[in-house]
Structure 1
Amino acid sequence: MKTRLLIALPLLTGLAACNFSSEDKGAQPAADEPTAAQSPRVEDSMTKMEADNQAQRFARLALDCVNKQYPNKISHVLNGPNDVQSPQQLHPAFFGCYDWHSSVHGHWLLARLWGQDKLGAMGPDAEAALERSLTAENIQAEAKYLMGEGRNSFERPYGMAWFLQLYAELEEIAARGGPKGEKAAQLVQNLKPLESVILNKLKDWLPKLAYPIREGTHNQTAFAFSLMLDYAQEHGDAGLAKMVKDKAIEFYGDDENCPIGYEPSGEDFLSPCLEEADLMRRVLPRDKYRVWLTAFLPGIPSDGSTDWLEVGEVRDPTDGKLVHLDGLNLSRAWALRGIASALPPGDTRRAALLATANKHAEAGLKNVSGKNYSGGHWLASFATYLTTGRGIRDGATDVEKTGSITPVDKAPAAMPSGKLAPAAKGKAQ
C-alpha cells in the first residue's frame, strides 16, 4: 500500500491550485500570451547596458578567483607521502575559487558569458583565462587524478555534473562557428579525456545508486540529474539520457506531498523539493507532468501569492555555510521558473510560481558581490545560471523541444512506491 507523507502547510491553497480541464492538457501557449520564460522578471526591467554590466560584474568575480589558489578547501585522498601537494599541483586546471567544483562552474560562467558576447572589453580576459586553464596538459593531469586509487566518488555528482555543463557550453559555442567557435572547439578537444573519465564513472555509479539523495547541498541527486540530462540531450548521449531518466522515474516518479514546509535547512543552497520538480519537467511530457506536480506540490497557490515560500535569510555572509542560503534563493528562482515553463498559460499556478521566483531572484542577486570570499567564489555562477536561463530552453520543456528519449508512457507500468522522506529536518514553516 502506498504511504503518503502528509505535511500541514500554512498559507497553501491545496488542490484548488490545479484548476485545469482535460481540454487544456498539453496545451501550447496562445500566440498573444507569454510563456513562463517570457513573463516579466527582475532582470527584464534592466536595460541592455545594465544587463551587460551585471554580466561583467559576475565575470569579474570568476576572473578574480579561477587562478586564486588560496584559501583552498581540498577533498583529497592521500595514498602516500607523494600525494602531499599544493592545490595547483593536484589540480592544474581547477585549483582556484576555493574548491574544485567552484572552479569548474567559475570556468563555465566565463564560457557562458563569453559565448553570449556579454563581456565587452572583458571578453579577451575571459577567453585568455579559459585557454590558460583548459590546456590539454592540464586536463590530462585532472583526468589522471580522478583515476587515482580511492577517488571514485571525488566530486560526485555535483562537480562532475558541472563539468559536463562546461563541456556542453563550449560545444554549443563551437557549433556556432566563427573565431570564437574555433577557439571553443579546441577547448572541447582538450576536455575530452576528462569528459571520458567522468562519463565512465557516472555510468558505473548510476545503476548502483539504490536511493535518491534528498539533501540541499552538493550530494543532491535531483539537481545533478538535471545538469547531466541537459548535457546528455545537448551532446547527443542517448545512453546517459536514458539512464538518468530511468533513475529519475524510479526515484521520484511516485513522490507525493513533498514537505516544502520543512525547507530551508540551515545550510541549503538547493531546494530538495523544487529541484526535484525542476528535474521532472525535463523527464515527463507536459500533461503527465502537470498531474505529477499536483500530487507532489499540492499547495502551490492559485492566487499569485508569494507568502507560501519564504526567502532564505543569511545572518552572517562571512560564514561559508550560512551564506549557502544566498545561493538557495538563486537556485529556487531558477527552479520555480523552470517549473512554470512546463505549465501552459491557463494553469493558475504559474502566477505564484513566477512571482515567487522574482522575489527570490531579487533577494539573491543583490547579494552577489566580492565583499566576502565565502560567497564571492561561487554565487556569481548561480546568478549567471539564473539570469541567462541556462536550464530553460526557450521557455519550452525539453520533452516538447527535443522529444523524450525515454517517454514516460514506455516506462515500466509499475513504478516503485513513493518513499518520500522529509527533505530536511527542522521546524515546519
Structure 2
Amino acid sequence: MELTADIARNFAAIALGHVARPYPYKDDHVFTGAEDLRLPQDAHPVFFGSYDWHSCVHGWWTLLTLRRLYPDMPEAAPITALAQETFTEAKLAVELAYLDRPSSRGFERPYGWAWLLYLHHEAERHEDREWGARLEPLARAFAARLQDYLAILTYPITVGTHFNTAFALILARRWAVARDPALVTLLDDWAERSFGQRSDYAGWEPGGDEFLSPVLTAALLMAEVRPHLAFASWFERLVLENGWLARECRPVFVSDRSDGKIAHLDGLNLSRAWCLRAIAGALGGAEHHQDLYRLAALHLDAAMPHVAGDYMGEHWLASFALLALLPEP
C-alpha cells in the first residue's frame, strides 16, 4: 500500500490523457432557453474534460498532487505546461460566472464543490506558480455555498454516490482548517449533530452503483472531527461491536466495467481502502487498527489492476486510488 514513482507516473499519464479530452462529456446543466445551447468547453473552459465537471476537477487534483510529490518525473513538465495554459484568470472567471445563473444553485452539489476546495488546497502548495491564488475566488464561492447548504440540509444524505454528505465534508474540512476556522466549527457541529449518536450500523451496503461507503465516509469524517478516545469508542459502537465490519466489509465484485454505474464499484473498493487506512491511523495502537490496515489492503488489491482500461472507470479511478495511497491528507 505504497505510492511508488512507477505508480505515480502511471496515474499522471492517465490523468493527462483525459483532463483536456472534451468528449464524451456528461453535462450537468439546466437549460432555461435556446440561448443556453453551447458546447461544454464554452461554459467550462477549465473543467471540460474527463467525461464530467467533477471528474475533471479531481483529475487536476491528481495531477497537481503527483507534480508536488514527484517533481522530477518526466510527466511533471507537461503537467506544469497544461496547468499554466488551463488555470488562467480569464478561464477561471468564466467558471465563476457560471455560478451566477439562478439555475446553477445545485450545480455539482456537494461532490464537485468539495473536490474544487480540495483542488485549491493542493494548488496552494505549488508556491512556484499562481494556481492557488487564481483558484481562490472559485473556492471561496463554493465554500460560501456549502455554508448556506448546510443551513437548510436537515438530514445527512447517506447514499454511496455523489450526493453523500460525509465525503464532501471530509474534503471541505481539510480545506477549511487552514483558511476558514468558522467553517470548521460549522462542519464539526453539523457532523456531531448528524452522526454523533449513530451506532450499531446495519445498512444494506454495498449498493449496486456505489463508489462510496455510507458508513465508512461518516466514520472518517468523525475521525477528523473527534479526539482519539471519543472517536475510538464511537467507532466501536458503530461497526465493531455488532460485527458489521468483519462480516460485511469485503471487496466487491464488478461485473461490467464498460457500464459507468457498475464501474462505480471499483471506486467503492478504492474509497473503502482510503477510509479504512485513515481510520486505522486515527485509532493508532487500538486493538483493531491492524485488522483495518489488512482490510484496506484487500480492497486496494482488488481495484488497483482496474484503474486503467475502459474509459468509464479510467476517467476518475486514479484519483481514488491516489487518495488510498497518500501518506497524508
**What is the TM-score when the length of structure 2 is the normalising length?**
0.96
CA gap of 1:109–1:239, structure 2 versus 1, over 3 A, is: same
User: Which residue of 2 is the match for residue 348 of structure 1?
Assistant: 287
Q: Is the 8 A contact 1:311 1:363 kept in 2?
A: yes
Q: In the TM superposition, what is the alpha-carbon distance from 1:104 to its structure 2 partner?
A: 0.2
Q: In the TM superposition, what is the alpha-carbon distance from 1:172 to its structure 2 partner?
A: 2.3
Of 80, 84, 100, 1:131 maps to: 84
**Partners of 2:246 and 2:297 in 1: how far apart?**
10
**Partners of 2:131 and 2:242 in 1: how far apart?**
43
Q: Is the 8 A contact 1:306 1:355 kept in 2?
A: no
Amino acid at match of 2:257: P
**Partners of 2:259 and 2:18 in 1: how far apart?**
18
Q: Is the 8 A contact 1:52 1:119 kept in 2?
A: no
Aligned pairs for 1:194-343 within 5 A: 194-233=138-177, 235-260=178-203, 262-299=204-241, 308-343=248-283
The secondary structure found in structure 2 opposite 1:43 is coil
Q: In the TM superposition, what is the alpha-carbon distance from 1:310 to its structure 2 partner?
A: 1.8
Aligned pairs for 1:23-422 within 5 A: 42-43=1-2, 51-117=4-70, 120-173=73-126, 181-183=127-129, 186-233=130-177, 235-260=178-203, 262-299=204-241, 308-345=248-285, 347-369=286-308, 371-391=309-329
Runs of 4+ in 1 over 6 A off after TM superposition: none
Q: In the TM superposition, what is the alpha-carbon distance from 1:385 to its structure 2 partner?
A: 1.4
Q: Is the 8 A contact 1:269 1:326 kept in 2?
A: yes
CA-to-aligned-CA distance 1:68-105 (integer Å, 9 cap, x gap):
11001001011221211111011000000000000000
Q: In the TM superposition, what is the alpha-carbon distance from 1:295 to its structure 2 partner?
A: 1.4
**Partners of 2:162 and 2:57 in 1: how far apart?**
14
**Partners of 1:384 and 1:75 in 2: how far apart?**
25
The secondary structure found in structure 2 opposite 1:166 is helix
Amino acid at match of 2:280: A
Q: Is the 8 A contact 2:161 2:212 kept in 1?
A: yes
CA-to-aligned-CA distance 1:165-198 (integer Å, 9 cap, x gap):
010111123xxxxxxx221xx1112112212221
**Partners of 1:123 and 1:344 in 2: how far apart?**
34
Q: Is the 8 A contact 1:70 1:96 kept in 2?
A: yes
**Partners of 2:196 and 2:276 in 1: how far apart?**
19
Q: Is the 8 A contact 2:200 2:242 kept in 1?
A: no
CA-to-aligned-CA distance 1:321-373 (integer Å, 9 cap, x gap):
0000000000000100111111131x22112211100000111111111x210
Amino acid at match of 1:123: A
Q: Is the 8 A contact 2:260 2:312 kept in 1?
A: yes
**Partners of 1:364 and 1:232 in 2: how far apart?**
31
CA gap of 1:285–1:101, structure 2 versus 1, over 3 A, is: same
Identity of aligned residues (%): 38
Higher helix fraction (1 or 2): 2
Amino acid at match of 2:312: S
**Partners of 2:89 and 2:9 in 1: how far apart?**
27
Gaps of 5+ in 2: none
Larger radius of gyration: 1
**Partners of 2:72 and 2:312 in 1: how far apart?**
24
Q: Is the 8 A contact 2:19 2:59 kept in 1?
A: yes
Q: Is the 8 A contact 2:118 2:175 kept in 1?
A: yes
More relative contact order in 1 or in 2 (CA 8 Å, sep 6+)?
Answer: 1
**Partners of 1:129 and 1:389 in 2: how far apart?**
26
Q: Is the 8 A contact 1:79 1:149 kept in 2?
A: no
**What is the TM-score when the length of structure 1 is the normalising length?**
0.74
Amino acid at match of 2:2: E
CA-to-aligned-CA distance 1:232-282 (integer Å, 9 cap, x gap):
11x33101111111100010010011125x210000000001111111000
Q: In the TM superposition, what is the alpha-carbon distance from 1:118 to its structure 2 partner?
A: 5.5
Q: In the TM superposition, what is the alpha-carbon distance from 1:120 to its structure 2 partner?
A: 0.7
Q: In the TM superposition, what is the alpha-carbon distance from 1:144 to its structure 2 partner?
A: 0.3
Q: In the TM superposition, what is the alpha-carbon distance from 1:390 to its structure 2 partner?
A: 4.5
**Partners of 1:119 and 1:367 in 2: how far apart?**
26
Q: Is the 8 A contact 2:5 2:70 kept in 1?
A: no
**Partners of 1:188 and 1:118 in 2: how far apart?**
17
CA gap of 1:307–1:251, structure 2 versus 1, over 3 A, is: closer
**Partners of 1:274 and 1:218 in 2: how far apart?**
15
CA gap of 1:119–1:336, structure 2 versus 1, over 3 A, is: farther
**Partners of 1:91 and 1:381 in 2: how far apart?**
20
User: Which residue of 2 is the match for residue 39 of structure 1?
Assistant: none
Gaps of 5+ in 1: 1-41, 45-50, 174-180, 392-429
CA-to-aligned-CA distance 1:399-425 (integer Å, 9 cap, x gap):
xxxxxxxxxxxxxxxxxxxxxxxxxxx
The secondary structure found in structure 1 opposite 2:17 is helix
